[in-house]
Every structure is written in structure tokens, then in C-alpha cells.
Structure 1
Amino acid sequence: MNSNYRICGAALALLAASAMSAQAAEKVSFGTNWLAQAEHGGYYQAVADGTYAACGLDVTIVPGGPQVSGRPLLLAGKLDFYMGGNLLQAFDAVQQNIPLKIVAATFQKEPQVVMSHPGQGLDKWEDLKNADQYIIGDEGAQSFLQWMITEYGFDPAKRVPYTYNTAPFLANPKSIQQGYVTSEPFAVEKEGGFKPNLFLLADYGFSTYATTIETMDKTITERPDVVQCFVDGSAKGWYNYLYGDNKTANEMIKKDNPDITDEQIAFSIDKMKEFGIVDSGDSEKLGIGAMTDEHIQSFYDKMVKAKVVPAGLDIKKSYTLQFVNKGVGLDLKK
């Protein structure tokens, strides 16, 4: 046979294989729990650079927002995967007998911080309980504030509602306020003209995993290869987003959320790296998305002690280690 025919035949075979692969790509939807932002960057990166596609998934990211409730869409089968908040939601699902599990923990640390004004006698963690008021939202008041009261003696009477407006905090230099390390400090710097003190709750013992990947038990049982591909692809996406060229992913984020700025994105990425939000602790050896039984049990015990969750839950029903701790993506870290 003429060598040209052999070359053409090989090329046609390759094209046919590529076409079959494209046809075989399984459509998957992933719902985030807020508007597109850098805190979702690894997922966008995995779409942008073809990481999900490389293992057979055609992933659509469905952004959340103030008027979007993603978990009901997961329960109804409208989403394949959902971005959970932290472990408390998964514990609540066990309590309500909802058949879903966390399959990966993208954030080793929840980005939740308490901020204070510098030079006001509130420069150390142990000083914060002496603030005039604690500006904390309803959800925080029922979760991490209860832990702060139990573990460190904060005064529940000093709590005032946080309305997602930094003005009350800026107006009262003796106050402290909740926030995400990737978000509210940026607003304070812009609006207040100073850098607030930042106290990451995870560094003081509020040890929940966060920005989890949730899916239904049925998906785990019936489509384990899809779950593995999504978990692995997300881990690789996060390595490439944090340590590689993230320009295309950021353009996708800005397309889905036109109000976000390059400056805000850069600030968020910097803080995620500085505080080890995504890549620290167990992830340094086990890979991004890592989870351990011991870590989850320890957090659960703290929440029982703080009376945030009831004792006696079978928390093993809230997560699985089947898809994580395999070192996926470690070779991509620069």
C-alpha cells in the first residue's frame, strides 16, 4: 500500500475517533451557590482548558445568585452536581434523610473571617470579644458565632444583624464584622480607605471544609465514572487556575457576571493563596479536594459541643472518600 494512503487512513481513523469521542461526551450540569467569581475559578478553568472534556464530560456551569436556590435543583435532578457551602449543610441533609453526599472539598478552609479596625484595641483574636458590637448575619449567628461563644466566650448580646452593607462597620471603629476573606475586605479597603485586620475563623478552630462538591447518592451508584471525572477535572482546574494561565477562565467569569472587575478577581485569587483556602493542609499531599474522616469528625464534635447540630448523627452518610485523596493534579502545581 502506498505510504500516502497509510497516512491518510491513519488521519481518517484519528478524525473518526475524535468524532466518536465528541459524540460520547456526557452532558453534565454544575450549579454554583453564588454569582460567578474567582472563588469558582477552578471549575471555569476546567471548562476553558478542556480538562473536563478530556475525560468525557461536557460541563455546563449554572451560576447561582440571590434569586437562585441550587440545592432544590439538585434534588429534583435538574443539576448533576452542586457547590455546597460547608459541612453543616451536609450534616443537615443527613438529619433530613436527604440522599446526597459530598464527594470533594474544594476549599480546605472556609473563607469566613472576622474583620476589625486596626489600632482600636482589637488587633488580636482574644481582643475581639471586647468589641462594642458583632455585625454578623442570621446564618452566622446560628453557626460560627455559637462556636465563638462556646470556645472563646464571645457575648451573644453584642450581635447585630449584618445586612451585607459595610457602612455600619466603617462607622463604628469599635465593631467587628463577618466577611469572606476574598470579598468584604476588598470593599472595606475601597470604601473605608484602610486595610482591616483579618481573622480567618479556620485558623482559630472553625475547621469546616467549604465549597464542597455535592451529588445525589444515585449518581454515585449509577455513574461513578462521571463523578470521578468531575472531581478529578475540578482538582486539575483549580491547580491550573491558581498556578497557571487563568485569563480565559476569568473572561468566562466576567461574561457570567459582568459586574465583577479584574481588580476584584485579582484580590480574591491573592487572598485564596495567602490564606491557603484551596491548597493547604491535607491537599498538599493528597491533592485539591482532599477530605479525611478525622477532620470531618473533629468539626462535627465541635458543632455538637456548640449546640449547632444534634449529637448522634451518622455523619458518614454526609460524604464519601471514594473519589478524592489520590494526588490528582499535584504534578500541575508550580
Structure 2
Amino acid sequence: MAVTGLLPVSGAALSRDPRLLASVRDVGTRPGIDFDYTDDAATAALLERHRRTVAAAEHGPLMWLGALLLVAAVVWPFAGSAMPAFDGRPELAYGPAGPLLVTAVACLTYVRRRWKRELLHPRLTGYRHVLGLARAHGVPVTHVPHWLVGRPLSGNRETVPVPVYGEVATLPTESASAQPVERVTPPVAVPDTPPVPAAVPAKPAAVAAYEAMADEGGWHDETGCLLLLAAIGGAAWAYSEENPAGYLAATLATAFALTTWLAGARQGRERQRLREAALEYVRTLTAAQSTGTPVPELSAPLRGLLEEEAARERG
């Protein structure tokens, strides 16, 4: 099962608390929405369709045109003043930069407004309210896709965040003795039996290790290159000064560089192994969610992994 099939919250989880279900139904019947957010298949199709629309609005041809015009507006005064053909003609050397800049700003402003308009589509706005209601009722939201709230992959600022509702008290559990015991003869055959909810899998140790080391590493290659450059410099100095100490320093720096690269390679292999274990864990959660089991909120490293894998699967 694809990792991207994991929904922020399933319809079964939204239906467990009748108060939450009523609120979700109310959101779905608002003017301009008319959507059942408890239908997992329809919700997944809705999110995928609007993800493409938002991406097209943000990274369409007009955005690239605006970026090129902006670069041209910045470069033109320097290039124009250096061209002999424009000597003594400031209207040609500097004048075009103004219209280019105005056009670039107009293009980028239009792209920004169109992108935000797509984010504020009534059904996406309604879904953000559903996620806020789920959190308020204590239902875990596995993750919030970065595009849904207008958050860049490398930042934390959200253009349209999930609304925050006041916390709702948990429903008291009714005791078994308070319910009358009735003997019901089970039917002979039950057509269209819903899938039996699967148990939420425990987090494997490999996944916990991946979460711990997700932000580690990344410096071995750079450090190894610096040590190798130091070794080359030491050898050159030893040759020019005829000093054997330089050769010794170069040998030590080379040995340290090789050791650093080997350590980085080992860490990379271990990270890849743990990454595969984390992906398998997310796939297991996705399978459990498809049977109606509420799954826990993903940690920050697993949310990042989910975003990376989703981008990779989309090509």
C-alpha cells in the first residue's frame, strides 16, 4: 500500500464521537461545500485533486515568467550601462528596467493571489475546520499536508492554518452493567461485512532510532573534503619548504579524511535501513486506518518522511 494513502483523519475516527460527527456533518452542509468528510475515498480524491490545482497555481508558467522578468529587471541596468551602443542614452541603458520590474511584480502578485484563492476553496476550508474539530475532540490527526495550510517544506509559517477550537471533554464510558443484556440470535449470513479494525501496531525500535537520527549527519562529505584539501596543502608546503613534518601532517589528514568518509558511508547505509523500516511502519498505519482504526499522530521526522515520499511518488 502506498504511503501517500494515509489520511490526516479517517471517517471511522470522526464517527466515534457523536458530537464530533454532528459537527463534521454540519461543516459538510455549509453553503458552497456540500461534501461528506467521513467518506475516506471521496476525501482522498478531493485532497489529491486540490493538491494538483494548488501546485499548478503556485508553479505555473506565469510564476516562471514573473521570475525571469524580475531577473531581467535587476540585471538590465548593469548590462545596459556596460554596452557601448547605449552610451549617452540613459533611456535605453536604464529605462527598460522599470517596466520590466512592474510587469514582474504584477505577474508574481497575481500568482500569489490565485494560489491563495485556491487554498481558500470552500471544501478545503471546510476540511481544515474538520481537522480542528477532530483535535478539539481528542481525535489524533496523523499529519497535516504542507500544501493544505500553505506551509513551505523548509519552513513553519502557515498561510492558512488549521483553526483551533476549544477542547471538548471526553464522553464518559458507560458501564457494561448499565446496559440491559439482550440475547440476539446472530444472522446466518451477513452480506457486505465491513473490515474488522486492525490493532494499531506498536512503534518498532528501528522507527524510534530513525526519529532520533533524522536530523543527524550530513557533514561527513564536507569535512572529508576539507581534510583532503588540508592534506594537499600540507604536502605542497612540505615540498616547497623541504620539511618532512608537512608530509606527516598530510598523511594524517588523508587518514582522517578516509575515516570520516567511511563513517559517513556507514551512517548513510544505517539511515537508509532505518528509513525503510519507518516507511514500512507508515504503510502499516495506512493499512490499519483503512480498516477503521484510529491511528496516532506522526512525529515530526515521520511527517517529513511522508512529505518526501509523497513528492517522490509524484515524480
What range is the shorter-chain TM-score in?
Answer: under 0.3
**Greater C-alpha radius of gyration:** 2
Greater strand content: 1
Higher relative contact order (CA 8 A, sep 6+): 1
Higher share in helix: 2
* TM-score under structure 1 length normalisation: 0.20
TM-score, normalised with respect to structure 2: 0.21
